[in-house]
Amino acid sequence: MENIIRLRNLVAEYDGERVLNDISLDIRDKEFVTLLGPSGCGKTTTLRIIGGFLQPKQGDVLFEGKRINALPPYKRQVNTVFQRYALFPHLNVFENIAFGLRIKKLPEKEIIRLVGEMLALVGLNGYEKRNVGHLSGGQQQRVAIARALVNHPKVLLLDEPLGALDLKLRKGMQVELKRIQQSMEITFIYVTHDQEEALTMSDTVVVMKDGNIQQIGTPQDIYNEPTNAFVADFIGESNIIDGIMHEDFLVEFAGQKFECVDKGFGKMQLVDVVIRPEDIRLLPPQEGDISGVVESVIFKGVHYEMIIDACGYKWTVHSTLCEEPGAIVGMHVKPFDIHIMHRMEEE
Amino acid sequence: MKSKMISLPYLIWMLVFTIVPLGLVVFFAFTTPEGQFTLDNLTNAGQYISVLLRSIWLALIATAICLLIAYPLSYILSRMHVNRQRTFIMLVMLPMWINFLLRTYAWMTLLENNGLINRFFGLFGLGPFNLINTEGAVVLGMVYNYLPFMILPLYSILTKIDNSLIEAAQDLGAPSRKVFAKVVIPMSMPGITTGITMVFVPAISTFIISRMLGGGSNLLIGDLIDLQFLGNAYNPNLGAAISLVLMVLILLFMSIVNQFDDERTEGMLL
């Protein structure tokens, strides 16, 4: 697969404040890429630069190998699904979707056919004449997607499109968006702060923070092999503990030495030790590597979330076993589940 | 029941100062000075058709000029930084703090044959031009006085158009000209109709501006009505009839204008 969009050393500023710090990113054709990060990380800024609504201060945007920095939005072969949908309130559902086609001056018959196709794709047949202001959030969302897709863009940009929907609807739309992306075979660039959404839909996840890219990888890579404690913490919950790397495959934390699978950190180095809550096994106190006191238990549906106080750190543990608060428990972690990371620079 | 009570003060106000006077106008229009029913007043009003047409014509020109000046200004204003918007709106309102008559007198001294403008041209050996007592001067006075009434409704509706809608239109392939024609103008229709109404209605019935800047030869329908009640031509019954004609005309005009402002735009302020 070739790269459809390449971003080269992008720098962007808002009111003199730097929001993108030398970003480079290649996006392959027909890929579902998610830009993931907390608010203010620069993900929307990146999207707006690709859409042409914002000029980078430095760097290049390449589309199919051509530099498009100076190309205005209306000449770009990308379409956007805006955060709050941005439907035209003076037009009905049909005319909203037909907007781009009418600009292109397509014949009326063709417009009716294409809009009909799109309405079927997003499941809104029969809504042609509806006023967009009278639609539910989920329906408005579908109109916004249809309005962008009807132009058959090479790349679709989506700016937190599911942010305003309730949980159930969001889950449904996630599956549907993935289906649409695969059936239409176009590149999706999706911006979200919801890690679960990113993992569910993406081929590639780009984790961003403070205008920098932290990690690029498949959802599995990002989840299982986070490059630093920020990514580990942002993608799912994590216990992040100070540790000392004694030598390859041996790390000390919580007052004990543990076998691990990481190497190449040098000897006696301060590191971050990251352990997923679901990777901690609860055992009777004497059988565990570490023992601690259960502080609180919350029922989460599939599992219980427990906070366990051990060795001066409050561990988050997910388990299907339920322990009473106050109980003393032992904890065990397999070497494979201990992730060692370089310390992040102090903020 | 309680909510009806709250509207009582206005209901009384409307009854005393709107419904009753309106009834009186209708009564006078259809009676002789002796109080007998007649249609003569209305038929007599017909002979002033040229005055009526001139009033409509000048008001239309003034309204069109106001729209042409106010729309681009309001649009630029609505896309400015909020703090600068406030300053500019203040400047738009500023002339309204000065008495209406005073402002119009000021124009008289500017436009006179030996007024400031002609003296300025005189420096270059030009003129004097005949500026005052022309239809142009009347239109100028109307535009000058009623321009804020066009700017304010336009500005307030244009600021409500979210920038993301303009970006969405660009995103869908519309160059600036099309964004304007297909999104900005249709969405600002309610502001346009309000502005047109707020300029056209006072412009068509004005009498001060035409009297001060138009001289005797540019009599407007407002002057005519004024003459019937306060002038030498004293004839309240004829004045009432002309007023009635003017009122019907304005109602007709407003209903036409409101055609452009139908239910399509109803949902837009949500």
H or E segment and range at residue A136? none
What is the C-alpha to C-alpha distance for residues A111 and A134, in angstroms, rounded to an integer?
A: 23
* pLDDT for position A285: 85
What is the C-alpha to C-alpha distance for residues A14 and A57, in angstroms, rounded to an integer?
A: 10
* pLDDT for position B262: 61
Q: Which residues of B touch A74 (CB under 8 A)?
A: 170-175
> Cα separations (Å) of B261 from A90, B89, B187, B196?
11, 25, 10, 12
Minimum CA–CA partner of A91 in chain B: B264
What is the C-alpha to C-alpha distance for residues A243 and A275, in angstroms, rounded to an integer?
A: 12
Going residue by residue through chain B, which has 270 residues, state the pLDDT in tens, using 9 for 90 and above: 567 788 899 999 999 999 999 999 999 999 988 888 888 888 888 889 999 999 999 999 999 999 999 999 999 999 998 889 999 999 988 888 888 889 999 999 999 888 888 888 888 888 778 888 889 999 999 999 999 999 999 999 999 999 999 999 999 999 999 999 999 999 999 999 999 999 999 999 998 899 889 887 788 899 889 888 887 778 889 999 999 999 999 999 988 888 877 644 444 443
* Minimal C-alpha gap between A198 and chain B (Å): 24
Say how many CB pairs under 8 Å bridge A and B: 77
Is B187 within 8 Å of A131 when comparing Cβ atoms?
A: no
pLDDT per position as a tens digit, A306-329: 999 988 889 999 998 888 888 899
What is the C-alpha to C-alpha distance for residues B215 and B140, in angstroms, rounded to an integer?
A: 14
Mean residue pLDDT of chain A comes to 91
User: Which tokens belong to B261?
Assistant: 């402002």
Tell me the domains of chain A and their CATH numbers: 3-229 (3.40.50.300), 237-342 (2.40.50.140)
Q: What residue has token string 């055609």?
A: B259
pLDDT tier at A11, thresholds 50, 70, 90? very high
A33: nearest Cα among A64, A2, A5, A67: A5
* pLDDT for position A111: 96
Is A103 within 8 Å of B182 when comparing Cβ atoms?
A: yes
Residue A327: count other Cβ atoms within 10 Å of its Cβ. Answer: 15
Average pLDDT over residues A77-88: 93
Query: Buried (b) or exposed (e) across B61-76, using 16+ Cβ within 10 A?
Result: bbbebbbeebbebbbe
Is B268 within 8 Å of A103 when comparing Cβ atoms?
A: no
Domain boundaries, chain B: 50-221
pLDDT tier at A286, thresholds 50, 70, 90? confident
In CATH, the number for domain B50-221 is: 1.10.3720.10
Residues on B contacting A at a C-beta cutoff of 8 Å: 162, 164-165, 167-175, 178, 182-183, 186-187, 189, 264-265, 267-268, 270
A294: nearest Cα among A315, A319, A320: A315
What is the C-alpha to C-alpha distance for residues A27 and A3, in angstroms, rounded to an integer?
A: 5
H or E segment and range at residue A247? strand A239-247
Question: Does pLDDT of A343 surpass 60?
Answer: yes
User: Which tokens belong to B44?
Assistant: 């007599």
pLDDT per position as a tens digit, A144-187: 999 999 999 999 999 999 887 888 888 888 999 999 999 999 99
H or E segment and range at residue A242? strand A239-247
- Beta carbons within 8 Å of B212's beta carbon, 6+ residues apart: B104, B105, B107, B108, B141
pLDDT per position as a tens digit, A87-97: 999 999 999 99
What is the C-alpha to C-alpha distance for residues B97 and B109, in angstroms, rounded to an integer?
A: 20
Average pLDDT over residues A259-282: 89
Is A86 within 8 Å of B165 when comparing Cβ atoms?
A: yes
**A331, A291 in Cβ contact below 8 A?**
yes
Beta strands A290-299; A281-283: pairing state: unpaired
Q: Angle B13-B227-B230 (CA atoms, 0-180°, nearest 5)?
A: 60
Question: Does pLDDT of A1 surpass 70?
Answer: no
B171, B182, B187: residue with CB nearest A51: B171
* Minimal C-alpha gap between B267 and chain A (Å): 6
Minimum CA–CA partner of A135 in chain B: B267
**A142, A128 in Cβ contact below 8 A?**
no
Q: Rounded to two decimals, what is the model's pTM?
A: 0.81
What is the C-alpha to C-alpha distance for residues A76 and A47, in angstroms, rounded to an integer?
A: 13
Q: Which residues of A touch B175 (CB under 8 A)?
A: 72, 74
Type of residue at A308? I
Minimum CA–CA partner of A156 in chain B: B171
